[in-house]
Structures are given as structure tokens and as C-alpha cells.
Chain A
Amino acid sequence: MIDHADEGQLERYSLGAQGETDSARVEEHLLICESCRERLQETDVYTAAMRGAAQSLRSEAQDRARQPARPWLPLWSDALAVGLALLAVMLTWGPSVIHKSARELVPVVVLLETTRDSRTQTAPASRPLLLTADLTQLASYPAYRLEVVDAAGRRVVGSPPSPGSGKLSLPIAGGLARGAYYVRLYALSGELLREFGLRVT
């Protein structure tokens, strides 16, 4: 009965970790046993692969250790740095953007004077408007209302009847498109009290 070399023996032989006597015994067996020679070949492949892999991982670990130490900031410092950079951008350019947006939200006041020689008022297009009619020069009525019509006389927007204590306002949140308009001031009875020209540019 042949005593085949066990796995440990083959492994130690492959690694060269056996003493002379033990190595000689294994070699004598290998001479006559093809099965063990094949097993030794597999063991050689395995030990070489493990040696190479261990070396590779060790080198990588040493390279990592040799890299300059990270600054005192922790690992999430990259995210923090990006956040701070974004904040800096917002603080630098943000106010101008915000200012512009806020400006665009503030309605433009268009004062409609009720004197007979009132000129055509102008207003910017697509900006919130606040049409304000000064009623102090007019006879007193219980209530008034404002109405905006386009050049063809079509009603665009109007205010509900209001007592109008000296002034009557008509907010137009979405503004008006470019064109010519007329702002008409009516008494509650429907009497047209004044008409103002409004050019939206």
C-alpha cells in the first residue's frame, strides 16, 4: 500500500518549508506516483497565487500608508468643502440673483392723475403693476371702480367697486402685455369719470 503525500506535506514541499529528510521522502514518492505529482502541481499553482496575491495586497497597503496624511478634517471633509464652495458662490452671486427676482416681484406703481391734462402713462410689460388713481380732483362719489381695456376697447381687468378714500388702486399681479391700453375710472352707477392712456412697453 502506497502512502500518498498528504496535503500538508505537499504544501510544505511546495513552499520549501520541509526539512531535507522529509523532502527526500516526498520526492521518492513523487517519482512513482503520478496522482501526487498532479496534486503537487495544483498545490504549486495555489501557493504561488497566494504568495503573489498576499504580496500585492501588502504593497498596496504600504503605498496607502506612505501617502501624505489627510489633514485634520475627517473623511467627510470633501462633502464639506463642496458645501462651503457652493455657499461662497451663493453669497457672492446669490444676492444679485435674489435682488433681481425680488425686484421683478415688486409691482410698478402707475399713478393715474385725474387732472385734465394727464399724459399717457407708461409701464413695463410683464411686471406686476399697481394702477393708482388719484381721486382728490374729482367730485365725490359713493364708490368707484377701475377698468383696463385694450386698444380695441375689450375689458382686460377691473377692480371691484370701492369707496376710494382719495385713491383707488387696481393691482395687476401678472402685469400686462405690450400694447396700448386705457384705464377707465367709473362711478358705481357706471358713469365714466376719467380715461387714462397707458402704454405698456
Chain B
Amino acid sequence: MAIEQQQEAIAKTVLQGISRRDREILTRFYLLEETQEQICEGMNLSETQFRLLKSRAKARFGDLGRRKLARRGLLRFA
């Protein structure tokens, strides 16, 4: 599987693991390219909540990616 597909699969896992509302927020940002202000106003959340959601999703993405690499023995810890 190409690297891009792998990354997308990981991202899909991240999106499927969150609530429908959070998934909608991230979809609006990454796919529909709405601005932070538009999303916060439209979905009634604060800037802090928005940033926290993005941060958690990105952290989860990184975590899953590292686990995948570790399973394949490709990750070497110094």
C-alpha cells in the first residue's frame, strides 16, 4: 500500500474514532476548507475547543502512525 494510502487509512481511523460532531468539525476544516471562525460560529464552539480538537486528532494520528511503524519493526528507538 502506498505511503499516502497508509496515511489516509490512519486518518480515517482517527476520524472514525471520534464523535460525529467532532468529525464534522474536522471535515469542514480539512475537506471543505472553512475557516476557524466560520466553523466556530456555525457549530457553536470556542476557539480553544477547536484548537484542542485539532491537536488531539493530530496527536492520535501521530500515535497510530508510530504504532504501525513499530509493528512492522521499522521504528528504532535511540
Q: Which residues of A pack against B, CB within 8 Å?
A: 8, 11, 15-17, 45-58
Contact = CB atoms under 8 A, between A and B. Distances in A.
A49 B51 CA distance: 18
B58 A46 contact: yes
A17 B26 contact: no
Contacts of B35: 17
**Shortest 4 CB-CB distances between A and B: which pairs?**
A53-B11, A49-B11, A49-B7, A54-B31
Contact of A15 (B9, B33, B51): B33
Given A15-B33, A57-B16, A52 B27 contact: no
Given A15-B30, A46-B58, A46-B61, A57 B8 contact: no
Given A48-B7, A49-B7, A54-B27, 20 more contacts: A8-B51, A15-B33, A45-B7, A46-B7, A48-B4, A49-B11, A50-B26, A50-B30, A50-B31, A52-B8, A53-B9, A53-B14, A54-B15, A54-B23, A54-B31, A56-B8, A57-B12, A57-B15, A57-B23, A58-B31
A84 B31 CA distance: 47
| Chain B interface extent, by class | 20 to 34
Contacts of A48: 4, 7-8
A16 B30 CA distance: 11
Interface in B1-26: 4, 7-12, 14-16, 23, 26
Of the listed residues B7, B23, B35, B51, the one surrounded by the most CB atoms of chain A closer than 10 A to its CB is B7
> Could you say which of A16, A47, A54, A55 has the most chain B C-beta atoms within 10 Å of its C-beta?
A54
Contact of A53 (B12, B33, B51, B58): B12
Contacts of B16: 57
Query: At the interface, is chain B mostly helix, strand, loop or mixed?
Result: helix
Given A49-B7, A49-B10, A49-B61, A55 B31 contact: yes
A54 B35 CA distance: 16
Contacts of A49: 4, 7-8, 10-11, 61
Contacts of B33: 15-17
B64 to A, nearest CB: 11
Contacts of A51: 30-31
B66 to A, nearest CB: 13
B15 to A, nearest CB: 5
